[in-house]
Amino acid sequence: MAVSVSILAIVTSLHLIAFVLAVGAERRRSTAKSVPDKYDERTYCVYGSDASTAYGLTAFGLLLISQSVVNGVTKCFCFGRGLVSGRSTTCAVFFFIFSWVSFLGAEACLLAGSARNAYHTKYRGFFGGEALSCATLRKGVFAAGAALSLLSMLGSIFYYWAHSKADTGGWEKHHNEGLGMTSSNLEDNRQEQSASEFGKA
């Protein structure tokens, strides 16, 4: 299987867009502050924009599509044709595992960050009493997802490249060998038949 430039372009583009969205989600994390209610002695949390949730979920979806494309083309490493044993196959196995580990890590960060960013504290405390704790997303979750997205991109690209080099088309190889043997046998039979006819003559 030859390396397809279009597959590489799709995988790279999806990962880079997911990276940009994850960085944007980190910068647009929801903020909150506790303010007193005008009408009673209670406090409540006022939250900022929830844009990070949308960014994070979009990045999550793009990474999922990209991973599906790579593993669909390579038959998820397990269901394709035979691979030549050697350095290329070893590299393919390594980058297959690396891409999946980094992909799952990125998806976990993006999904958990999006869910936490969308959560708003509903508890109300008393003004002047115990300070109200407003739940917000911890800094760095989306940034970790962005970093793992880049690692997942590198892993996917190198896995696809190594898999393409190691792909032998196993059935076709044996099939061609079988045809070669059959042709050789036919040639031998023809020579023997010609020799016997010449002897009779």
Are residue 88 and residue 141 in the same domain, yes or no?
Answer: yes
CA 23, distance to chain mean position in Å, is: 18
Over residues 134-158, the pLDDT tens digits come to 778 888 999 999 999 999 999 999 9
Which of 144, 151, 132, 137 lies closest to 53 in space, CA to CA?
137
Give the separation between CA 145 and CA 23, rounded to whole angstroms. 9
Q: Is the per-residue pLDDT at 121 higher than 90?
A: no
Are residue 103 and residue 144 in the same domain, yes or no?
Answer: yes
Lookup: tokens for 16: 């880079």
Are residue 163 and residue 189 in the same domain, yes or no?
Answer: no
Q: What are phi and psi of 130, to 5 degrees?
A: -70, 135
Residue 21, domain extent: 5-168
Are residue 200 and residue 146 in the same domain, yes or no?
Answer: no
Q: Is the per-residue pLDDT at 49 higher than 80?
A: no
Over residues 82-101, the pLDDT tens digits come to 566 678 788 888 999 999 99
Are residue 183 and residue 134 in the same domain, yes or no?
Answer: no
- pLDDT, position 155: 94
* pLDDT, averaged across the chain: 78
Give the separation between CA 56 and CA 22, rounded to whole angstroms. 6
**Number of independent structural domains in the chain:** 2
Are residue 129 and residue 164 in the same domain, yes or no?
Answer: yes
Are residue 105 and residue 89 in the same domain, yes or no?
Answer: yes
Query: 43 pairs with which residues across the strands?
Result: 36, 125
Are residue 132 and residue 57 in the same domain, yes or no?
Answer: yes
Q: What is the mean pLDDT of residues 157-169?
A: 80
Are residue 57 and residue 92 in the same domain, yes or no?
Answer: yes
Q: Is the per-residue pLDDT at 122 higher than 60?
A: yes
Are residue 133 and residue 157 in the same domain, yes or no?
Answer: yes
HSE value, Cβ hemisphere, 13 Å, CA-based, for 15:
26
Answering whether pTM is above 0.85, one says no
- pLDDT, position 144: 95
Q: What is the mean pLDDT of residues 174-195?
A: 51
Are residue 162 and residue 185 in the same domain, yes or no?
Answer: no
Lookup: tokens for 123: 């508890």
Are residue 102 and residue 124 in the same domain, yes or no?
Answer: yes
